[in-house]
Amino acid sequence: MAVVNVLVQRRPEQVWDVLADGSSYAEWVVGTREIRAVDDGWPALGTRIHYTVGLGPVTLNGSTTVRHVEPGRQLGLEADAQPIGSARIAIDLLDWGDDTVVVLDEHPLRGPGYRLHNTLSDAVLLLRGRPMVHNLARLVERRHPREGASGAGGR
């Protein structure tokens, strides 16, 4: 299990605004090459984002399904990229004064990724998760400028 967090210098509703924009995921989710389609109503329960992920010349088509949603507070996703398997991704938004703490918890759920899960794979997830939450923070702060503020906090 890999848990990372970041302080975003914006309100939770501003962070949610970016999470609710399925077309923005390629801008902050590490490894995403392109968003191919976003279901109408994203991020309603059961809706999906369809994308291409890649590392170097290797690419896979995948989809992420909303499994749990509390608008403005929590988003539970299942990211599926076969033949690797799927992962559970929980994103929690914690109100932190004028800011938001984003907690991202990701771990293998099904398939070979789950069966081969170990400390090394957790380290890889952490290496992916840290830049991902920082990318999200930068995107939120860019989309929602704050008078007299520059850059994301906690870096």
> The domain that contains 56 carries what CATH number?
3.30.530.20
Quick one: CA torsion of 43, 44, 48, 51, rounded to 10 degrees?
-10
Distance in angstroms (rounded) separating the CA atoms of residues 55 and 71: 32
Structural element, H or E, at residue 71: none
- Please indicate, yes or no, if residue 101 is contained in any of the structural domains: yes
In the numeric block, the tokens 């890649």 are attached to 54
In a domain, 153, yes or no: no
Q: What is the pLDDT of residue 146?
A: 82
User: Given a cut of 80, is residue 147 above it in pLDDT?
Assistant: no
Q: Does 104 fall in a domain? A: yes
Number of domains in the chain: 1
Domain extent, residue 42, equals 2-143
Residue 129 inside a domain? The answer is: yes
What are the tens digits of pLDDT across the range 45-86?
Answer: 999 999 998 888 989 999 999 999 999 999 999 999 887 788
Nearest to 73 by CA among 91, 101, 93: 93
| More confident: 154 or 67 | 67
Mean pLDDT in residue range 83-91: 88
Does some domain include residue 97?
A: yes
Residue 133 lies in a domain: yes
Instruction: Give the C-alpha separation, 100 to 8, whole Å.
Output: 5
Q: What angle, 0 to 180 degrees and rounded to 10, lies between the N-to-C axes of helices 119-143 and 12-19? A: 110
- 150 in a domain, yes or no? no
DSSP code string of 58-127:
EEEEEEEEEEEEETTTEEEEEEEETTTEEEEEEEEEEEETTEEEEEEEEEEEESHHHHT--HHHHHHHHH
Residue 149, domain member (yes or no): no
Contact indicator for 143, 17 with CB cutoff of 8 Å:
yes
Q: What is the mean pLDDT of residues 132-154?
A: 81
Give the residue, 154 or 5, on which the prediction is more confident. 5
Q: Give the pLDDT score at 155.
A: 42
More confident residue, 2 or 10: 10
Per-chain mean pLDDT for the chain: 88
Q: Which amino acid is located at 26 in the chain?
A: A
**Mean pLDDT throughout 91-120?**
83
Angle at 132 between CA 129 and CA 133, to 5 degrees: 90
